[in-house]
Structure 1
Amino acid sequence: MLSKDNTIGFIGTGVMGKSMASNLLNAGYPITVHTRTKGKAKDLLDQGAVWKESVADISYSADVIITMVGYPTDVEEVYFGAAGILANAKAGTYVVDMTTSKPALAQDIFQKAKENKLYALDAPVSGGDVGAKNGKLAIMIGGEQKDFDYLAPLFEILGENIILQGPAGAGQHTKLCNQITIATNMIGVTEAIIYAKKAGLDPVRVLDSITTGAAGSWSLSNLAPRMIKGDFAPGFFVKHFIKDMTIALESAREMELFTPGLALSLELYQELAENGEADSGTQALIKLFEQK
């Protein structure tokens, strides 16, 4: 049974991972961390986390390994190869990839983990920087029921909407559904703010009316106010949203699905990134509309 004597290894301490690891520390779990840039882990180390110099170091010393990195290529790098998690974790270790990545890659990790007597789950999240800080993430999980049950105490610290969606890869597929929904929603949120301003309305008062009605959404409640304030700090990077939408569009095409809203949103965000906003938050989409 999982206990607070079990060491949790955390790889990737960016905008989301940092807060997630901090919540586990605050809950009393011993945490070891590794990230490409040690400075990004400083706050966690000050809280009591233990630094590990490499993926291999963190892998053979942890009972549970959580990864929260940027791109599928990063996931491949930390899991596969002689210096990766799968080659260095001791038998019986649980590995949880919380990066938004490719469903097929999650399935590959699961199969290789099983061959090495490891237990793997894919568990991407939604909720942005606010959800990560407050421990209120939605966590979408793929894998086996027994492994989900074993790690439930950890997931309950990180989020509050925690659902096992199916076998390996199901968590990633569910997260892609989430990103497809957000993709067109962000266009609508942006157009609504631009429209309100053009009509001579106070966009803050407009939000007071429409966030509680049928138009309500997380993006409308949380990102529209940032748009109005001109706060484009990343709760979720434009470049990472482009990555997610690209994966979703590729998966949709493999299933021969028609997704014009997703394709349009990806095109707009790619243009936004080309304008120098790749490291801004997704709410920076309004800048593109203001220029047109």
Structure 2
Amino acid sequence: MTAETGKMTVGFIGLGIMGQYMAGHILDVGHVLRVFNRSRHKAEALVDRGAVWCDNLGDVAAECDVVISIVGYPADVEEIYLSPGGILDRARDGAILIDMTTSSPDLARRIADRAAAQGLSALDAPVSGGEGGAKAAALAIMVGGDPDAFAAARPLFEILGKTVSHMGPAGSGQHTKMANQIAIASTMVGVCECLAYAKAAGLSQAATLDVVGTGAASSFLLKGLGPKIVAEDFSPGFFIHHFVKDMSIALEEAEAMQLSLPGLALARKLYRQLVEEGFGEEGTQALIRAYAGIVGGNHAA
């Protein structure tokens, strides 16, 4: 960090649907930004705006006060943090490492323990809000880890989100995200069944949304994704295959706690069907395919 300006050197690893916007917000406020992504072309727009490209993730970690990652799967998180030459091997003394991937609580704890043994801090900080929230810097950010590290990183979190909450020790951010995904899963089933029923009854789906969206059934998903369902717009703000991954983590954690979640199990079964049919890279609103008889056709571009 530069004492005179308060600006940091921030590394960002993972420039997908959400990461590209999040990294851009950090660049916009004047922090030095170093980036790495497996597909370099996804970094080109940021490099054109002043970000520094690094040839590998270790080179990102070696030069940064804070390293942020948001990748796909727990296996990806484990690889970038724990593999030889990875983030933990190369991070500078005193660095704060922030994984914003939705991942395993146990993996978050393992990373935090190893980081602490090396004089580093690691936070698990998954987010909710999808592409729209990332683009608008309006994400909900749920954080687990050392409170002092959270306090130090909070100015960065506030660049990216409107709701920033420290939820407890390492792994607590991931547990909170699991709770979030559980709520989304059953709500999406309800939204799709609502619209499937309306169509079968001969109602206008759009008019149904207008009415029920002002009553007790109103929700972000009903009002935000309901119109996309009606329009058969299945473009992704969040990929189905990533959502299946999240639901699987949540069900594994629930099983370990001897907790039955039948609603979540049903949602995962329906979404898995869509992945098997080739719709894994559509948005979560494509769940309507399981009810509307359009599985197997009408792939969104």
1:148 aligns with: 150
Structure 1 segments unaligned to the other structure (5+ residues) = none
Matches within 5 A, 1:175-190: 175-190=177-192
1:28 aligns with: 30
Matches within 5 A, 1:122-141: 122-141=124-143
Cα offset for 1:81? 2.1
CA distance in 2 between counterparts of 1:49 and 1:178 reads 32
CA distance in 1 between counterparts of 2:128 and 2:41 reads 25
Is contact 2:7-2:30 (8 Å) kept?
no
Matches within 5 A, 1:1-292: 4-291=6-293
Is contact 2:112-2:121 (8 Å) kept?
yes
Cα offset for 1:238? 0.3
SS of the residue 1:276 aligns to: coil
**Count of residue pairs brought into register by the alignment:** 292
Is contact 1:143-1:166 (8 Å) kept?
yes
Listed one character per residue, the Cα deviations across residues 181-228 of structure 1 (whole Å, up to 9, x for unaligned) are 111111001111111222222222222222232112221121111111
CA distance in 1 between counterparts of 2:275 and 2:29 reads 38
Percent of aligned positions with the same letter in both sequences? 50
Is contact 1:4-1:30 (8 Å) kept?
no
User: 1:141 corresponds to which letter in structure 2?
Assistant: V
CA distance in 1 between counterparts of 2:10 and 2:207 reads 45
Is contact 2:94-2:120 (8 Å) kept?
yes
TM-score when scaled to structure 2? 0.94
CA distance in 2 between counterparts of 1:183 and 1:237 reads 13
Cα offset for 1:21? 0.7
Listed one character per residue, the Cα deviations across residues 98-119 of structure 1 (whole Å, up to 9, x for unaligned) are 0000000000010000011111
Cα offset for 1:4? 4.6
Is contact 1:125-1:140 (8 Å) kept?
yes
User: 1:251 corresponds to which letter in structure 2?
Assistant: E
Deviates more, 1:22-31 or 1:104-113: 22-31
SS of the residue 2:278 aligns to: helix
CA distance in 1 between counterparts of 2:175 and 2:201 reads 40
CA distance in 2 between counterparts of 1:212 and 1:113 reads 48
Deviates more, 1:190-199 or 1:157-166: 190-199
TM-score when scaled to structure 1? 0.97
Q: What's the C-alpha RMSD, in Å, of the aligned pairs?
A: 1.3
Structure 2 segments unaligned to the other structure (5+ residues) = 295-301
